[in-house]
Amino acid sequence: MVLKTFERLDQKKKARIFREAVREFSARGYAKASINAMVQNLGIAKGSIFQYFGDKQGLFHFVFSQSVDMVKEYLKAIRNQTADENFFLRLQTILTSGVQFVRKHPRIYTLYVKIQFEGNMGFCAKLLSSLRRESFEFLSDLIETGIERGELDPTLEVPHTAFMLDALFDRFLQAHMLEHLDAGLKLKHADSETTQAWAAHIVNLLRRGLENRSNVP
């Protein structure tokens, strides 16, 4: 819960608190995160955090909610920027842009990964659900548009296709951010050209199963 005392702070101080909280929660998870460590690094009184957010849970809710909003804004920007592109080119852009986003905000991605497996995070279930729903609806909209434009097989089941693509994108990001999950492919340290090549190859595979074959000569 964000209290009015926090809302009255200037943007620079709000941003500092957000960055420090993301750093601590992403490094240690919710349960082990230390308010003492945060306020020491921020140079503020411990009581200030409670005046701003009520408690540790309120602070975490603020941090994760802000992070979810950043992801949602990213998805909206990609959707708008690629609106006139072919479905498969849009997919390729989404894959590569997703990697760019998580590499630019690695702590936010680490935070997202941690809370999925930290069993005591029930109070964030709605936020996680909101993020997954945003991704699913984003992909469903792309698929429906692709079908309407005649780019995709009209017999595709939109929910099933969106679910498959959502899982694929999640796995693509994991391989680029978590070395132990890249199956020895060394994508964790891949340069942009390698990521682009991987995205193009994956999209070509998808094209074989999803494309409207009546448009193929």
Domains in the chain, ordered, with CATH? 64-215 (1.10.357.10)
C-alpha distances out from residue 206 to 36, 132, 201, Å: 49, 22, 9
β partners of residue 211: 152
Tokens describing residue 215: 């448009």
For the packed helices 11-32 and 56-81, what is the interaxial angle rounded to 10 degrees?
110
As a whole number of angstroms, the distance between CA 123 and CA 83 comes to: 35
pLDDT at res. 1: 72
pTM of the model: 0.85
What integer pLDDT is reported at residue 217 of this predicted model?
58
pLDDT (0 to 100) of residue 134 = 85
The answer to whether the beta carbons of residues 194 and 202 sit under 8 Å apart is no
Closest CA to 24 of 13, 37, 11: 37
Paired with 152 in beta bridges are 211
Give the whole-angstrom CA distance, residue 23 versus residue 73: 21
Return the pLDDT at 128: 79
The tens place of each residue's pLDDT in the chain, 217 residues long, gives: 788 999 999 999 999 999 999 999 999 988 889 999 999 999 999 999 999 999 998 999 899 889 888 988 988 898 899 999 999 999 999 999 999 999 999 999 998 888 877 655 676 777 778 888 888 999 999 999 999 999 999 999 999 999 999 999 999 999 999 888 888 899 999 999 999 999 999 999 999 988 887 766 5
Give CA 48 to chain center in angstroms.
Answer: 30
| First-residue to last-residue Cα distance in the chain | 57
- Ramachandran angles phi, psi of 152, nearest 5°: -115, 155
Query: 104: how many CB neighbours lie within 10 A of its CB?
Result: 10
